[in-house]
Chain A
Amino acid sequence: DTAVSQTPKYLVTQMGNDKSIKCEQNLGHDTMYWYKQDSKKFLKIMFSYNNKELIINETVPNRFSPKSPDKAHLNLHINSLELGDSAVYFCASSPTQVANEQFFGPGTRLTVL
């Protein structure tokens, strides 16, 4: 029973392509997040949704577009991929917006060639 799952685990693609990463949580949480972890292991939040509504939108290029069809799913679509987009992308969820434990997915390693 995976609490937070992501697909795919690995994604290798060419510059300029469009790709999507899917995330699902079965914890009944209200809040979901996307993080980017670069090669230096720095974890930076990109987006947060609460009950399907966008609540945090960091300074992220508009090539990145999150979508939350329901509160258990938060997908990330990336247009016109660039070399600098190569990173590990983690989805996470937490019970509410109030500061508490975040449960991370296994990560998606994106490599842009």
Chain B
Amino acid sequence: GENVEQHPSTLSVQEGDSAVIKCTYSDSASNYFPWYKQELGKRPQLIIDIRSNVGEKKDQRIAVTLNKTAKHFSLHITETQPEDSAVYFCAASRSFQKLVFGTGTRLLVSP
């Protein structure tokens, strides 16, 4: 079955810096890669997702890149702000199969 590894587990940056979180997956048939943000005590919420027919997707300050050959994908946050502080989860799945989550990255943005 699918296995998703996520790094780093903790990331501290200064406000305005960029943050990058990386994930690798094991199932070459996976075709959907979402990223979820979970603020303290809240529910996970989708912030961006990418499908296997696309190499990169951007939405304002966040972007996701996918390298199918290497089976890894990354989340990039530019111009970080204190409100970006949260736990971020990557995930991978293929159609009709379960979504497998990474172990999470705790991002702390200091003012």
Contacts and interface: CB of A to CB of B under 8 A. Distances in A.
Contact of B44 (A44, A90, A97): A90
A83 interface: no
Interface in A30-77: 40-45, 48, 56, 58
B93 A42 contact: no
B31 A99 contact: yes
Interface in B60-111: 87, 89, 93-101, 103-104
B104 A42 contact: yes
- Chain B contact patch, size range: 20 to 34
Interface residues of A, number: 20
Per DSSP, chain A at the interface is loop
B85 to A, nearest CB: 14
A42 B103 contact: yes
Given A99-B31, A99-B95, A104 B101 contact: no
B104 A41 contact: yes
A102 interface: yes
A90 B43 CA distance: 8
B43 A101 contact: no
A106 B19 CA distance: 27
A99 B32 contact: yes
Given A101-B34, A104-B43, A42 B95 contact: no
5 contacts: A42-B101, A43-B104, A45-B100, A90-B43, A102-B34
